[in-house]
Structure 1
Amino acid sequence: MEGLASISENERQQIQAAQKNPQAFRPLYEKHYRPIFLFVYRRVDNESVAADITSQVFLNAMLHLKKYKITKAPFQSWLYRIAHNEVMQFFRKTQHVRKIVIDENLLAELKNEEDYSPDYLEKWRDQLIVAINTLRLEEVQLLELRFFEQKPFREISFILNITENHAKVKTYRLLAKLRKQMEMQISVS
């Protein structure tokens, strides 16, 4: 069973210090800013928007830190949950079109083969993007957490506030849905 990395004693002390004194939040901010920014950026594909959303994530984290309970889940997972909510809110408010960036390593990983020709992978990528575009935003978010962010199901369940089993079932159903969509594209072309 996949597990979450436990919180380090150093981070536990940093969190407890920041809960007592907001000025002590800085080391947590410095440690987690970059991964949270990249998480947001990969979803909005705009550096200034990503910076604004990431700032809001850390402001919310600081404002609600006293309510944060130290558990087995990493502190960063709590930040990802806040970031996920902020990104979803951004898309609901602005009606922006959601961007999906698929790099070559991820493409090969999703395809589970690295010996395909670049032309074949490019065609497969195009079909994958068309198939992903048929999904709802929440479904894309689940796939991104699992495959783009490479999060274990337990952490995904924490971030999305669903059960671990539900995260697994939804992921495998989405993969089957994508496969079916891509097969339909192949049969049409």
Structure 2
Amino acid sequence: MMEYAWIRQIQKKGDARAANELISFYYQRIYSFVYKQTFNKELSLDLTQEIFIGMLQSIHGFDVDRGSFKSWLYRIATNHVVDYFRSRSYRYERIVDSMEEVDVPQEHDFTLELEYRDVIEKVSAFMNELDAFSQQVMRLKLFAEYTFQEIASLLDRPESSVKTRYYHVMKKLKERMEVERVEG
């Protein structure tokens, strides 16, 4: 696969062209992963850039024999997003600050789009309260759409632990959403 050639060129020669190719190959996927969690274009662009800077700074530690690059990159991205939401500089704000930021595709119902964003906002706020492992499991499952097996491999945890954590957090989330629905 071409990505491994790029990685070797970066690791051995610090090849800028290979770095640009590797980043271009994964950029949209990582940006999308981040955007699904923030619904903020500028923030997502900034975080995505920081993720790739972190990737380049630590790429010498990546070992092809220990796992896929995609999994390694998503681990960096997940940790970075978790760190951002846990940072002292982050304070909870509405994810969509103004209607100008809402990009509604023509083929979607505007009301459904707003409801979806509201649900994602509530889920994100809930996840920000979780411990790092729970956040990683939930973000990889919900936003990167990884399987339990992939998450277990990525986080170096038993698949049963990942499933248990996921279903435990989903139960808590469902309870919270029910309370909010009743109170709302």
Q: TM-score, normalized by length of structure 1?
A: 0.67
Q: Distance in 2 between matches of 1:95 and 1:18?
A: 33
Q: Distance in 1 between matches of 2:66 and 2:40?
A: 33
Match of 1:75 in 2: 69
Q: Distance in 1 between matches of 2:121 and 2:43?
A: 23
Alignment size in residue pairs: 162
Match of 1:152 in 2: 147
The answer as to whether partners of 1:44 and 1:50 remain within 8 angstroms in 2 is yes
Q: Cα distance 1:187–1:95, how it changes in 2: closer, same or farther (>3 A)?
A: closer
Match of 2:99 in 1: none
Ranked by relative contact order (alpha carbons within 8 Å, sequence separation 6 or more), the top structure is 1
The answer as to whether partners of 1:153 and 1:168 remain within 8 angstroms in 2 is yes
Match of 1:51 in 2: 45
Q: Cα distance 1:148–1:61, how it changes in 2: closer, same or farther (>3 A)?
A: closer
Q: Cα distance 1:129–1:64, how it changes in 2: closer, same or farther (>3 A)?
A: closer
Q: Distance in 1 between matches of 2:82 and 2:123?
A: 21
Q: TM-score, normalized by length of structure 2?
A: 0.68
Q: Cα distance 1:41–1:127, how it changes in 2: closer, same or farther (>3 A)?
A: closer
The answer as to whether partners of 1:132 and 1:178 remain within 8 angstroms in 2 is no
Alignment map for 1:14-93 (pairs within 5 Å)? 14-23=6-15, 24-71=18-65, 73-91=67-85, 92-93=87-88
RMSD: 3.3
Q: Distance in 1 between matches of 2:150 and 2:59?
A: 19
Percent identity over the alignment is 28
Unaligned runs of 5+ in 1: 1-8, 102-117
Unaligned runs of 5+ in 2: 97-110
